[in-house]
């Protein structure tokens, strides 16, 4: 019985550990799906109307890890997108940078398409939807992971966690966008806002090339206020780029040629200006770091010189007062015997 219990306990621990590493895809009983059918609040409907949008209009999401910002953008009747609301990300695990492998407890970065099949109305984390990790780009690099969600419950093991109130509204907004006939909700996940100043601050980070790749998609949205279509070729993200027949690109194959439309020209101008700022910022940061390193070195040398002077003065003063060198230890001497030879024994006490 003891052996059987031990085996069962060990098996249970393995299951728990596996679930802990697998992400945040827990399932609750079907009754919890009532949360998924909650109506949008009247204040939300009014805000959508006032900005020229509606629940059924298309939607886009942007996340910024560094500032814990979760943005919801909605398409308006003008055709462009406006920021509807910024929510605070309650928790996410890991650091700045993409997710690489199952169990690294890292929240993903990149471009993802949320589809109706990724919605989880029965989540054990109140409500949730899957980010779609690994996407085409992730798979091109052999990255692994599962159940990387946006969910409630304000706790994370590689996911993006919101408060229950926030995920209830976000979930409903995504649901209504699908109901309006939109097949996907694009989700863009960044480490920080893709400004040249922010990128320069991380110029020595091993992910800098990946982040500069993401910046093109970020810039396209900033210029056009329309989510760019994304794909992968040459193992990098490309945006608004398709084959002549419209078929998907091959992740590791060469990219097709690009036509120079007006957005591409505007993007080239922006990137040239940003690149100049980036290089200036990197040079300034390098200069500051060199000055700081020189100051630290100078301070260390000054302290070492002061210590050396103090030691020398201590030795000099000690020498003046006989404290410069320790006195040699006295060697015990023996009283020589008369006539030389063996020591003379002490006289015996009187009275014996």
- Give the pLDDT confidence of 82-140 residue by residue, as tens digits: 999 999 999 998 999 999 999 999 999 999 999 999 999 999 999 999 999 999 999 99
Residues 46 and 92 in one domain: yes
Residue 13 placed within a domain: no
Residue 5 placed within a domain: no
What's the mean per-residue pLDDT of the chain? 86
Residues 74 and 97 in one domain: yes
Residue 340 placed within a domain: no
Residues 201 and 150 in one domain: no
The pTM of the full predicted model, rounded to 2 decimals, is: 0.79
Model confidence at 182: pLDDT above 70? yes
Residues 150 and 181 in one domain: yes
Give the domain CATH number at 105.
Answer: 2.40.440.10
Domain total for the chain?
2
Model confidence at 333: pLDDT above 70? no
Catalytic status, residue 159: yes
Which range among 223-227, 242-246, 333-337 shows the weakest confidence by mean pLDDT? 333-337
Residue 324 placed within a domain: no
Residues 185 and 207 in one domain: no
Distances (CA, A) of 25 to 22, 155, 160, 166, 170: 8, 13, 12, 18, 17
pLDDT per residue as tens digits for the range 57-81: 999 999 999 999 999 999 999 999 9
Q: Which of 24, 90, 151, 233 is catalytic?
A: 151
Residue 197 placed within a domain: yes
Residues 177 and 34 in one domain: yes
Residue of 271, 275, 95, 282 lying closest to 203 (CA atoms):
282
Catalytic status, residue 151: yes
Residues 161 and 24 in one domain: yes
Residues 289 and 153 in one domain: no
Residues 164 and 61 in one domain: yes
Residues 78 and 183 in one domain: yes
Residues 172 and 111 in one domain: yes
Model confidence at 219: pLDDT above 70? yes
Residue 178 placed within a domain: yes
The last residue of one of the domains, among 170, 192, 214, is: 192
Residues 157 and 270 in one domain: no
Using CA atoms in the order 109, 115, 117, 120, what is the torsion angle rounded to 10 degrees?
Answer: 60
Question: Which domain, by its residues, includes 36?
Answer: 20-192
């Amino acid at each position: 019985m003891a052996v059987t219990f031990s085996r069962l306990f060990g098996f249970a621990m393995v299951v728990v550990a596996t679930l802990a590493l697998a992400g945040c895809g827990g399932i609750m009983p079907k009754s919890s799906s009532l949360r998924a059918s909650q109506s949008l609040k009247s204040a939300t409907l009014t805000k959508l109307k006032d900005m020229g949008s509606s629940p059924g209009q298309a939607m886009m999401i942007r996340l910024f890890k560094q500032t814990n910002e979760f943005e919801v953008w909605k398409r308006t009747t003008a055709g462009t997108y406006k920021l509807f609301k910024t929510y605070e990300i309650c928790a996410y695990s890991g650091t700045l940078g993409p997710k690489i492998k199952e169990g690294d407890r890292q929240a993903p970065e990149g471009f993802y398409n949320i589809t109706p099949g990724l919605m989880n109305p029965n989540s054990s984390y109140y409500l949730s939807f899957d980010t779609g990790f690994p996407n085409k780009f992730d798979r091109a690099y052999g990255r692994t992971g599962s159940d990387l969600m946006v969910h409630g419950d304000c706790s994370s093991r590689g996911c993006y966690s919101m408060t229950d109130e926030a995920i209830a509204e976000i979930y409903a907004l995504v649901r209504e966008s699908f109901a309006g006939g939109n097949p996907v909700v694009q989700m863009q996940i960044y480490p920080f806002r893709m400004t040249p100043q922010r990128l320069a601050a991380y110029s020595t980070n091993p992910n800098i090339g990946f982040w500069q790749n993401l910046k093109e998609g970020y810039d396209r949205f900033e210029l056009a206020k329309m989510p760019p279509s994304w794909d992968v070729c040459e193992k990098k993200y490309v945006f608004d780029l398709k084959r002549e027949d419209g078929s998907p690109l091959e992740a590791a194959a060469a990219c097709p040629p690009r036509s120079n439309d007006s957005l591409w020209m505007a993007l080239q101008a922006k990137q040239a200006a940003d690149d100049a700022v980036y290089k200036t910022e990197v040079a300034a940061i390098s200069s500051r770091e060199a000055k700081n390193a020189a100051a630290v070195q100078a301070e260390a040398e000054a302290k070492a010189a002061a210590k050396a002077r103090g030691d020398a003065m201590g030795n000099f003063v000690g020498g003046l007062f006989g404290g410069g060198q320790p006195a040699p230890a006295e060697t015990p001497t023996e009283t020589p015997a008369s006539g030389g030879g063996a020591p003379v024994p002490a006289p015996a006490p009187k009275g014996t």
